[in-house]
Structure 1
Amino acid sequence: MIFDGDRPVVIGHRGAGSGAVHLPGAEDPVVENTVESILGAVRAGASWVEIDVTRTADDELVLRHDPTGVDGAFLVDRTAVESGLPRLADVFEALPPEVALDVDVKTILEDAVDPPARRTGALLVPLLRAEARRRPLLVTSFDPSLLLGLREELGNAVPLGLLTWVRFPLWHAVAAAAGLGMNAVGLHTGSCGIDPPDARLRPLDHNVDVAHKAGLEVLAWCPAPADAPRYAAAGVDAMVVNDVPGVIAALSSPDPDVPDPAEDAVQD
């Protein structure tokens, strides 16, 4: 198993949340995908933290969600120093080993044509191989080819999860992740049939049950605190969230009047 516990594991999205986040007790906001944001999420109660990783012109891996920097320049055209972004290797070194990480890998256009040794997945392999000995890891990506390449290089040393897009049909997502031999499937809330309702979709708890029977753990991203109990009731194993303290509070004090997720969708 990747995640333990009776309640869904709360994973901080890009650290303590997307963008610049004000955390309780902190004087200044923390910026996403930084050591400060990661540690802020842990202090807020997250047991896992999700970070985004992409590559630069000098074959470094840095923390960034987009292929461009804050100035709009493409990171593959800049060195890591020029980008001003945290290097993944430095982040691994700076974090205490008890901080569990979901490494969301962002492949780039140039991965289609650059020599295999320069591609994002190949650069990631040695870092993951070493880091898996120090801390719990999960690698997720929208790119199934990257995930299969990591499986070939790392075997079962690091669990892998397939991410799916907004409104990506769950009947494809769960089947694809299972067929690819993944350990997990990551579902955007827009795909889950709760908000907005989707009459083509079996209830979320049914989809989660099928995923579990297929050997998959299920992540949902990014439920708001008000909706988190409904995802918990549907049986998801983890939630990647922007409001760590809010979701933890919502899961700790569930509302008995939360609607049954089975009522929010019509079976086929």
Structure 2
Amino acid sequence: MSGVFTATEVIGHRGAGRTAAGEERENTIASFLAAVEQGAAWIEIDVRRSADDGLLVHHDAALPDGRPIIDLPAAECRSAGLVTLDEAIAAVPEHIGLDVDVKTVMEDAADPPGRRTMSLLLPALRREARRRRMFVCSFDPGALLAVHAEAPEIPTAWMPFVRNPLDQAVAGAAGLGCALVAIDARSFGLTGDAPRPGRREVAYTVDVAHRAGMEVISWCPDPVDAARFADDGVDAVVVDDVSGVVASLEARRAHR
């Protein structure tokens, strides 16, 4: 199957991973560059809009002090340390793929169409898709349908929620017309978890997705589970421990 990935590829989660003591803060230029240095082939960035229609890179809906980003002008968010989408894109080398995680907001339901998150984001997505590998993922099916309608050349991945049943994840992504399905590692089952009645094996799930024409991403396995998922055909993993997962996958390839 010709697709987005050359299995199994490593995607740095929010750059070099979620914030931990002694590491670069997530969704920052320093974190993106650290992930590249550690061997990530892709970088995941979270994008949301500000009160004045700026596009900012941040996972949570609010700043650490609790102020909702949608209520603040972009300049105020930047003063708090957030980077813009344009700054993030410019910082990531062109040979590194971009996984753009779209964080839509409640206000997208009622604001004029031109102000909605996807309307603001689509021009940047189209422009960037012409020069590097990229795909768009979201928990929001509406965001993915907007990409399908306005930029069908860009692959999309549906991200069902944490521990979402595998049946719904794969069937739902296929029904949405996605090229990819992004499955929480906990939905597959982590090493050491007790068996769950009715839950399909990783390899079976991947085979069904592939037969449906989709590639499979998993977020966020540790190095042990990333290697196990790779053995079962998972096409890419979004990870917090970039260097650990890269080393684990390289060791797996060396012993095959």
TM-score, structure 2 as length reference: 0.92
Distance in 2 separating the partners of 1:130 and 1:19: 30
Structure 2 counterpart of 1:92, which letter? I
Which residue does 2:198 correspond to in 1? 200
Which residue does 2:45 correspond to in 1? 51
Which residue does 2:213 correspond to in 1? 215
Say if 2:249 is the partner of 1:251.
Answer: yes
Which residue does 2:232 correspond to in 1? 234
Distance in 1 separating the partners of 2:221 and 2:92: 26
Structure 2 counterpart of 1:193, which letter? G
Say if 2:95 is the partner of 1:98.
Answer: yes
8 Å CA contact retained: 2:190, 2:225? no
Distance in 2 separating the partners of 1:198 and 1:88: 40
Which residue does 1:14 correspond to in 2? 14
Supply the RMSD in Å over aligned alpha carbons: 1.6
Greater alpha carbon shift after TM alignment, 240-249 vs 95-104 = 95-104
Query: Post-superposition shift, 1:254?
Result: 3.0
Which residue does 1:136 correspond to in 2? 133
8 Å CA contact retained: 2:16, 2:31? yes
Greater alpha carbon shift after TM alignment, 227-236 vs 193-202 = 193-202
Which residue does 2:86 correspond to in 1? 89
8 Å CA contact retained: 1:229, 1:255? no
Greater alpha carbon shift after TM alignment, 85-94 vs 52-61 = 85-94
Residue 70 of structure 1 is aligned with which of 48, 52, 64?
64
Distance in 1 separating the partners of 2:29 and 2:9: 20
Distance in 2 separating the partners of 1:238 and 1:219: 5
Distance in 2 separating the partners of 1:10 and 1:95: 15
8 Å CA contact retained: 2:178, 2:214? yes
Structure 2 counterpart of 1:231, which letter? F
Say if 2:215 is the partner of 1:182.
Answer: no
Say if 2:141 is the partner of 1:147.
Answer: no
Distance in 2 separating the partners of 1:34 and 1:131: 19
Structure 2: stretches of 5+ with no match in the other structure: none
Query: Matched residue of 2:223: which SS?
Result: coil
Query: Post-superposition shift, 1:21?
Result: 6.3
TM-score, structure 1 as length reference: 0.88
After superposing on structure 2, the runs of 4+ consecutive aligned residues of structure 1 that deviate more than 6 Å are none
Distance in 2 separating the partners of 1:56 and 1:20: 26
Distance in 2 separating the partners of 1:40 and 1:192: 28
Which residue does 1:4 correspond to in 2? 6
Distance in 1 separating the partners of 2:63 and 2:97: 26
Distance in 2 separating the partners of 1:244 and 1:56: 30
Distance in 1 separating the partners of 2:127 and 2:36: 22
Distance in 2 separating the partners of 1:95 and 1:188: 25
Bigger share in helix: 2
Distance in 2 separating the partners of 1:91 and 1:193: 33
